[in-house]
Structure 1
Amino acid sequence: MRHSTLLPSLLLSLATAASVLHAQQPPKEVPIQDNSFLLEEAYNQEPGVIQHISTFTRLRQSGDWVYTFTEEWPMGGQAHQLSLTVPVQRLASSPDGGRRGFGDMALNYRYQVLGDGDATVAFSPRLSLLFPTGNHNQGRGNGHLGFQANLPLSVVMADRLVTHMNLGCTYTPHAEDLLGNQADITTWNIGQSFIWLARQDLNLMLEFAYTSGEVVAGPGLRQPTQSAFVAPGVRWAWNLPRGLQVVPGLAAMVGVGPSRGERGIFLYLSFEHPL
């Protein structure tokens, strides 16, 4: 079967299997309120609850992949949240022949300005420091400290339909390319997702993510770059004793516009539990 038909078929099969499985179980009391795949939802962690998130993205055409691990911690209450994101990636075009290595790590702070997981509208801006832990000589980082801001807004549109909107910007002064050339670069991101709450423990998802940015093209020179993906996906939850919630999920990555022709897969797994 060709890849163009394999991913949608796999998504449909998993959604059907999950629906059948959960139909045989009693209703759950804890709904999924998790990070979206390509976007952020505007819900900070509840007091005393931490979350461990793993994601894996692989693109078919380029062969590139990236794995991220994120740890989210509430700071006293739900208003303040800290998290750390550690990426490991492989770039097929890197000078080292596509060896895997760490990318630039992110230390994130989010403030719950409006609402929470039970509100119709929630808003929680995020500020991040991007530390140059990746090897920029191999294309796995920018070589200097970067700054990122993101504005996630979540809105309940109907009883079973929620949308999440993101607008963000990343700025890296003195970013370096493979040859050591430096330039200040800026990247903008925008996205929207629609989450259908098929059951409390089963969500069907459709996300769109677009980035418009720059890469270093020489001393003080910048070259524009863009990407755009649509991602249909599914996630479900297993609610286990002592408050542990396990949420696996997957999505197809379909390139559109500047990324037309690219395909990929996105895998997701989170563990959420009280301290």
Structure 2
Amino acid sequence: MNLVVRCSSIILLQSSLVSFSAAEPLAKGIQDNSFFVEEAYNQEPGVVQHILNVPVFFANGGKESTPTFTQEWPVFSQTHQFSYTTPHTFAEEESGLEDIRLNYRLQALMETERDPAFAPRFSLVIPTGDADKGFGHGRLGYEVNLPFSKIVSNRWSVHFNAGGSVFPDVNDRDLVNYNLGGSAIYAVSSNFNLMLESVAFWEEDVDSARKVDRTVAALLSPGARYAFNFPNDSQLVVGLAVPIGLTSDSPDYGLFFYCSFEHPFVRTEACRTK
């Protein structure tokens, strides 16, 4: 009898270990909802994501906000994704629409136990903003970003970005900008994450006298996000961050509000089998 009990205990223990090892990491509960750093995960087939970002920055006694709305759509599969971003600036002196971005992103690498996810993005910057008011350059621009993402443990994930943009023939000058970013995210649970993001921007602008002005802005942004999961495979994520300026060209500090809602727009095989 003791032998039977011992064998049963061993089988139950092995089953528990297999179930535990097969469970998804807590870090996988919220993956594509970063604030300042772009993650490297395209939308799954049949799922669209709507994203509202509302940053409010304070500098030299004034404040400025540039809310953006983004929609991300898979193109037949997770390999290809189309999205657009519409920004609108609210400043103390002027307000208006900024340049709209049309984005294509390729899921070049899917994440594995060893390899990170990699999804390079190419964007057209459409000159919809009023350049005379400082809401764009008045020229078609081209932007590239190279995001990498990796879950490194049950609770930790990291992201890295490197990119740049070019605006040809702005007052007879070609403006070239660069950006770097990185983040570490800790999953307190599958629905609640603590975040630390850092980004830097090297940007050029030119005035009517053809004088080029170069700035370096950098932010360190601690934040948090929470996900609400619904039975129809929809997910609502809300978040808050407090970005802090690190250079003289950066804002002093700010508040960042985030809201994302993703849901199926077609019934896929994955949905039918759930």
Question: TM-score normalized by structure 1?
Answer: 0.82
State TM-score, norm by structure 2: 0.82
Distance 1:119 1:65 in 2: 40
Task: Verify: 1:255 aligned to 2:245, yes or no.
Answer: yes
* Inter-partner Cα distance in structure 1 for 2:202 and 2:55: 19
Instruction: Report the equivalent of 2:44.
Output: 46
The aligned residue for residue 143 of structure 2 is 148
- Alpha-carbon distance in structure 2 between the residues aligned to 1:110 and 1:85: 13
- Aligned counterpart for 1:188 among listed residues 178, 183, 193: 178
Offset from partner CA, 1:175-214 (integer Å, 9 cap, x none): 3xxxxx4522111000100011111111100000000111
| Alignment-derived partner of residue 264 in structure 2 | 274
Cα pair 1:120 1:156 within 8 Å, conserved: no
Deviation of residue 51 (structure 1)? 0.1
Give the corresponding residue for 2:65.
65
RMSD of equivalent CA atoms:
2.0
Q: Distance in 1 between matches of 2:64 and 2:250?
A: 16
Shift of 1:258: 3.4
Report the counterpart of residue 132 of structure 1 in structure 2.
127
Shift in alpha-carbon separation, 1:229–1:38, aligned structure 2, 3 A: same
Change (3 A) 1:192 1:103: same
1:242 Cα deviation after fit: 1.1
| CA displacement, residues 88-117 of structure 1 (integer Å, 9 cap, x when unaligned) | 11233xxxx32x211000000000010149
Q: CA deviation at 1:120?
A: 5.0
Give SS of 1:70's match.
strand
The percent identity for this pair of structures is 41
Q: Is the 8 A contact 1:87 1:102 kept in 2?
A: yes
Unpaired segments ≥5 residues, structure 2:
1-25, 266-274
- Maintained 8 Å contact 2:122/2:145: yes
Moved over 4 A (4+): 116-120
User: Cα offset for 1:44?
Assistant: 0.4
8 Å CA contact retained: 1:252, 1:265: yes
Native 8 Å contact 2:111 2:150 kept in 1 = no
1:166 matched residue in structure 2: 161
User: What's 1:77 paired with?
Assistant: 77
Quote the Cα distance in structure 1 between the aligned partners of 2:112 and 2:248.
Answer: 35
In structure 1, the residue corresponding to 2:232 is in which secondary structure?
Answer: helix
In the aligned structure 1, how far is the partner of 2:129 from the partner of 2:157? 36
The structure with the largest alpha-carbon Rg is: 2
Return the alpha-carbon distance in structure 2 between the equivalents of residues 182 and 205 of structure 1.
Answer: 42
- Quick check: 1:228–1:258 contact (8 Å CA) kept in 2? no
Aligned to 2:100: 105
Q: Which amino acid aligns with 1:151?
A: L
**Whole-Å separation in 2 of the counterparts to 1:222 and 1:247:** 40
| Deviation larger for 215-224 or 241-250 | 215-224
Match of 1:216 among 206, 209, 214: 206
Determine the C-alpha separation between the residues in 2 that align with 1:201 and 1:43. Answer: 18
Q: What is the rounded CA distance, in whole Å, between the counterparts of 1:207 and 1:192 in structure 2?
A: 6
Kept in 1, the 8 Å contact 2:215–2:249? The answer is no
The number of residue pairs the alignment matches comes to: 238
Give yes or no for contact 1:213–1:225 (8 Å, CA) kept in 2: yes
Query: Is there any run of 5+ residues in structure 1 with no aligned partner, and where?
Result: 1-27, 176-180
Quote the residue 2:7 is aligned against. Answer: none
Q: Kindly provide the CA deviation profile for residues 244-267 of structure 1, in whole angstroms up to 9, marking residues without a partner as x.
A: 100000100101133467010111
Query: CA shift at 1:174, angstroms?
Result: 2.2
Whether the 8 Å contact between 1:229 and 1:259 is mirrored in structure 2 is: no
Contact 1:91/1:139 (8 A) holds in 2:
no
